[in-house]
Amino acid sequence: QQQVKQSPQSLIVQKGGIPIINCAYENTAFDYFPWYQQFPGKGPALLIAIRPDVSEKKEGRFTISFNKSAKQFSLHIMDSQPGDSATYFCAAANYNQGGKLIFGQGTELSVKP
């Protein structure tokens, strides 16, 4: 019940395309859903995060869509660029129980020029 399932495992898009990465969770107590970007050999960096009282959040070219009833959330990257090529992780946490992050399996994104 603590798992977060992420798909796809890898994704290739052309420059300007809109890659979409999906995550699903079971634990309805989760109340914080962040997305992280990780480049090879580096630590993850927070991209954008959402709370379950909001269905969508945009920050620059990154958008999170959140479906509370389906227990799913997704990341959309608008006008993707080769520099967006990285591994993306979704996560979920329950801040009433310490806020420990449960990570998805990761998606390796490649944006072709």
Partner 1 sequence: GAVVSQHPSWVICKSGTSVKIECRSLDFQATTMFWYRQFPKQSLMLMATSNEGSKATYEQGVEKDKFLINHASLTLSTLTVTSAHPEDSSFYICSARSGLREQYFGPGTRLTVT
Q: Provide the minimum distance between the beta carbon of 109 and partner 1 in the complex, in angstroms, as a whole number.
A: 14
> For partner 1, what does the binding mask look like between residues 41 and 80, x meaning CB under 8 A?
xxxxxx--x-------------------------------
> For partner 1, what does the binding mask look like between residues 84 and 113, x meaning CB under 8 A?
-----x-----x--xxxx-xxxx-x-----
- Distance, CA of 89 to CA of 106 (rounded, Å): 5
Judged by CB, which is closer to partner 1: 58, or 100? 100
- Distance, CA of 24 to CA of 104 (rounded, Å): 9
Q: State yes or no: residue 8 binds partner 1 (CB under 8 A).
A: no
Q: Which residues contact 105 (CB under 8 A, 6 or more apart)?
A: 5, 6, 9
Q: Which of 55, 98, 71, 39 is nearest to 47 (CA)?
A: 39
- Distance, CA of 80 to CA of 51 (rounded, Å): 25
Q: Which residues bind partner 1 (CB under 8 A)?
A: 34, 36, 41-46, 49, 89, 95, 98-101, 103-106, 108
